[in-house]
Structure 1
Amino acid sequence: MSHVISADLTTERLVLRSWTATDVAAVLDASSASQSSQLAVLRPGLRPEHWAGDFPSDGDRVIAGLLATQPEWLGAFGHRLVVERASGLVVGSIGLFWPPTDGVVELGYGVVESVRGRGYATEATAALTAYALSSPEVHTVQAGVELSNPASVRVLEKASFQRVSADQETARYERR
Structure 2
Amino acid sequence: MSFSFSLTGTDLTTERLVLRQWSTDELSAVLDDRRLLHWAEDFPAEGDRGIAGFISEHPECLRETYGQRQIVERGTGLVVGAIGLFWPPTDRAVEIGYGIVPSRRGRGYATEATRALAGFVLAAPGVDTVYANVELSNPASGRVLEKAGLRRVGGDAETARYVVTAADPVAL
Contact 1:6 1:76 in 2 (8 A): no
Select the residue among 62, 71, 94 that pairs with 2:50. Answer: 62
Query: How is 1:20-169 mapped onto 2 (pairs within 5 angstroms)?
Result: 20-30=23-33, 46-74=34-62, 75-169=64-158
TM-score, length of structure 2 as denominator length = 0.88
SS of equivalent to 2:32:
helix
Amino acid at match of 1:29: D
- Aligned-pair distance for 1:52? 0.3
C-alpha offsets along residues 59-97 of structure 1, whole Å, 9 cap, x if unaligned?
000110111110111221000000000000000000000
- Higher CA-based Rg: 1
Misfit runs of 4+, over 3 Å: none
Indicate the residue corresponding to 1:39 in structure 2: none
More helix by share: 1
Q: TM-score, normalised by structure 1?
A: 0.86
Separation (CA, whole Å) in 1 of partners of 2:40 and 2:111: 19
Partner of 2:17: 14
Gaps of 5+ in 2: 1-7, 166-172
Partners in 1 of 2:86 and 2:30 — Cα distance?
19
The whole-number CA distance in structure 1 between the counterparts of 2:139 and 2:151 is: 15
Please give the root-mean-square deviation of Cα atoms over the aligned residues, in Å: 1.2
Return 19-28 or 124-133, whichever deviates more. 19-28
Query: What's the offset of the Cα at 1:6?
Result: 4.6
Task: Assess if the C-alpha contact under 8 Å between 1:110 and 1:121 holds in 2.
Answer: yes
Q: Tell me the alpha carbon deviations over residues 95-132 of structure 1, each in whole angstroms, 9 at most, x when there is no partner.
A: 00000011000000000000000000000000000011
Give the residue type in structure 2 aligned to 1:14: L
Which residue of structure 2 lines up, in the alignment, with residue 42 of structure 1? none
Which amino acid in structure 2 is aligned with residue 159 of structure 1?
A
Task: Give % identity.
Answer: 62
More displaced 10-residue stretch of structure 1: 14-23 or 89-98: 14-23
